[in-house]
Structure 1
Amino acid sequence: MSNRNRSLAATLVLALAAAGCGDDGVLPPDGDVPGDDATGADADADAGPDIEAEGEVDPGAEVAEVSPDAAAWVEIVEPADGATVDNPVRFVVAAGGVARVRLFADDWPLGETWDPAVSTERSYTFTGVGYERHVELFGYDGAGAEVAYDDLRITVRGTATDPGTLVGTMWNTYYYFADEADYAGPDDTTLYDEACNPLARVPAEFSDDVCIEGSGRLEDGRVINYADTCSCGRPCPTGGIICYAALDPAEFPWGMGSRGNPLEPLRSWAVDNSFLPFGTVLYAAEWDGVAIPAVEGLGGFTHDGCFRADDVGGAIRDNHFDFFAGTAGMWRALERIFPTRSSFTVYRDGERCRYLAR
């Protein structure tokens, strides 16, 4: 929590105001949304039935008198900073030397201002879940000027929210990141870059697999990725000859997707971009709740069914998707859960999986 020092509250608020939290430090009229274009995940949930208070606050009531000598402070008592919480979220606040307070999450107001002397609690139901939210509490004096501040970060646990727009039924294959260390045999095959300069000598079987999978790791730690077709090197089992680009393994530990993006095991899909645009956030209902086994440093968690369209493939057409398993061992494990050519009910652009959006 960034401000527990009450004696510095007013100074901090003034600094925040100078940084863009209000040019004159005066509370905007209730209903105005400072710094928000009403496109946030919770834009449709402001106030209304999601806001609950312990006591009724008469909007015509007099503003509580605050001694000018009182040190202004506010504090979010609950939930704790960094907590993961369930909907609806119950906020408990404490305050002194202020007339009104107001809560915001990611710059979106969680209801109107209220008198903390009348009620110290508010409840709010978030529609955007599964990712970190920045919650702020502002305190105002009788003239409406910001005089105290506190904040924290919470994650609202995912719930049964709308999965998005139905895409339909899709069917799967798998691909993985080929690792030269897993292959025996002589280094009798040369891999080339786009200019037909040699990159490495590798076993022929590794050359075949990295050509099919599109990316892999050399024994010296370099990551290579499909660059283009070319005229040099060993023909790929699926046809044509492939040349490669060497990537920074720190930036692309699992290879590169179709738009220069890092691939993410157990989250990235290769799709037909005429069927699903690049970057589309996806929800596959059948994967939700599946225990992913711990294999070769991956997995060991319960999947939430959320994926992203990160890649393309030469054989990927229409409602066919290629699931990036990460390693050959994980691919074999996933085949035992959902074999190749299994069918899945897929949705797109839902709040449930919005946290994966790039």
Structure 2
Amino acid sequence: MRVYLFIIIFSIILIFFCTPLRLEKPLTPSFIMKPLPQKTSLNQGRYLGKFKVSFYWIVEEEYYTGKRKVPLYLEDGRLLGYFPIDFVKDFKIESCAKLRDGRIISYLKKKDKVKIVDKPLGYGFKLTPLKSIAVDSNFIKLGSILYIPNIFGLKINEKESHNGIFYAHDIGSEIKGRKIDIFLGYKHNHHSFKNAGIKHGMEVDVYLLE
């Protein structure tokens, strides 16, 4: 009897340790890692080459002065309001803005209209500051997960550092060929990249993880 019991227990233990665990893919990717993780193994990704980096951000109306004489219209044709000419110019370049009343708007370039949103919109994705990038979809497929070793360890603030992982969430009329455009959220986040020596127009290595 004891022999049979031992065989059963041994079989259960063997099955448990020999069966591979199935890890579910998280719905929301980690924004940052703390403490700083071990650098992602480059063997996990496919090297895509060097890409020139640029940055875009949410334009904040509160920092613009001047006469409010340029109209912006919603998708349904209703007037959103009148705004300073420089604000409208920058908004149409960056495609996202925060109004004085706190609302977030996205620019619909093909329609030359505005949409009120809860979060900045990319091309079929909602944008995450310091994680979403705009790409040329002929070079990098939208939705791809990318690793940029040049940015691994970049200090976000006193306690947090970047894990070097980004997501292809957007496209841009100026993003053609081997270029990537990092979404900063607000412009003040640019100082983190400046402090790390990541400047507009410099080349960074890009790896495709998925």
- Shorter-chain TM-score bucket reads 0.7 to 0.9
- Displacement after TM superposition at 1:101 (Å): 4.8
Counterpart contact for 2:103–2:116, Cα < 8 Å: yes
Does 2:64 align with 1:200?
Answer: no
Q: Deviations over 1:201-236 (max 9, x none)?
A: 222221111111011111222221122335xxxxxx
Counterpart contact for 2:68–2:82, Cα < 8 Å: yes
Counterpart contact for 2:37–2:163, Cα < 8 Å: no
Counterpart contact for 1:286–1:345, Cα < 8 Å: yes
Alpha-carbon distance change, 336 to 188 in structure 1, aligned in 2, over 3 angstroms: farther
Match of 1:112 in 2: 18
Counterpart contact for 2:154–2:193, Cα < 8 Å: no
Match of 1:341 in 2: 201
Match of 1:282 in 2: 146
Q: Which amino acid counterpart does residue 64 of structure 1 have in structure 2?
A: F
- Displacement after TM superposition at 1:131 (Å): 6.6
Counterpart contact for 1:190–1:201, Cα < 8 Å: yes
- Displacement after TM superposition at 1:185 (Å): 3.0
Corresponding residue to 1:331 among 180, 190, 195: 190
- Displacement after TM superposition at 1:180 (Å): 1.4
Match of 1:191 in 2: 72
Q: Which amino acid counterpart does residue 322 of structure 1 have in structure 2?
A: D
- Highest RCO, 1 vs 2 (Cα 8 Å, sep ≥ 6): 2
Counterpart contact for 1:163–1:283, Cα < 8 Å: no
Does 2:77 align with 1:213?
Answer: no
Alpha-carbon distance change, 100 to 243 in structure 1, aligned in 2, over 3 angstroms: same
Q: What is the TM-score of this pair, normalised by structure 2?
A: 0.79
In structure 2, the residue corresponding to 1:270 is in which secondary structure?
strand
Alpha-carbon distance change, 216 to 64 in structure 1, aligned in 2, over 3 angstroms: same
In structure 1, the residue corresponding to 2:5 is in which secondary structure?
coil
Alpha-carbon distance change, 102 to 316 in structure 1, aligned in 2, over 3 angstroms: farther
Corresponding residue to 2:105 among 224, 230, 235: 224
Identity %: 25
- Displacement after TM superposition at 1:332 (Å): 4.4
Distance (Å, rounded) in 2 between the aligned partners of 1:178 and 1:205: 11
| Pairwise CA RMSD | 3.2
Which one has a larger percent helix, Structure 1 or Structure 2? 2
Counterpart contact for 2:154–2:192, Cα < 8 Å: no
Distance (Å, rounded) in 1 between the aligned partners of 2:146 and 2:44: 8
Distance (Å, rounded) in 2 between the aligned partners of 1:223 and 1:102: 56
Q: Which amino acid counterpart does residue 270 of structure 1 have in structure 2?
A: A
- Which is higher, the Rg of structure 1 or of structure 2? 1
Corresponding residue to 1:263 among 117, 127, 138: 127
Distance (Å, rounded) in 2 between the aligned partners of 1:212 and 1:221: 20
- Displacement after TM superposition at 1:158 (Å): 4.8
Distance (Å, rounded) in 2 between the aligned partners of 1:65 and 1:320: 61
Distance (Å, rounded) in 1 between the aligned partners of 2:44 and 2:152: 11
Does 2:53 align with 1:172?
Answer: yes
Distance (Å, rounded) in 1 between the aligned partners of 2:134 and 2:193: 16
Does 2:190 align with 1:319?
Answer: no
Distance (Å, rounded) in 2 between the aligned partners of 1:274 and 1:293: 34
Q: Which amino acid counterpart does residue 347 of structure 1 have in structure 2?
A: Y
Structure 1: 4+ residue segments shifted above 6 A: none
Q: Which amino acid counterpart does residue 256 of structure 1 have in structure 2?
A: L
After TM superposition, list the pairs within 5 Å mapping 1:1-358 onto structure 2: 62-64=4-6, 101=12, 111-112=17-18, 158-159=37-38, 160-161=40-41, 162-230=43-111, 242-247=112-117, 249=118, 252=119, 255-259=120-124, 261-293=125-157, 301-337=160-196, 338-349=198-209
Q: Which amino acid counterpart does residue 121 of structure 2 have in structure 1?
A: M
Q: Give the gaps of 5 or more residues in structure 1.
A: 1-60, 67-97, 104-108, 114-123, 133-156, 231-241, 295-299, 351-358
Q: Deviations over 1:303-322 (max 9, x none)?
A: 11100100000010111010
- Displacement after TM superposition at 1:110 (Å): 6.1
- Displacement after TM superposition at 1:182 (Å): 2.6
Q: What is the TM-score of this pair, normalised by structure 1?
A: 0.49
Alpha-carbon distance change, 340 to 102 in structure 1, aligned in 2, over 3 angstroms: farther
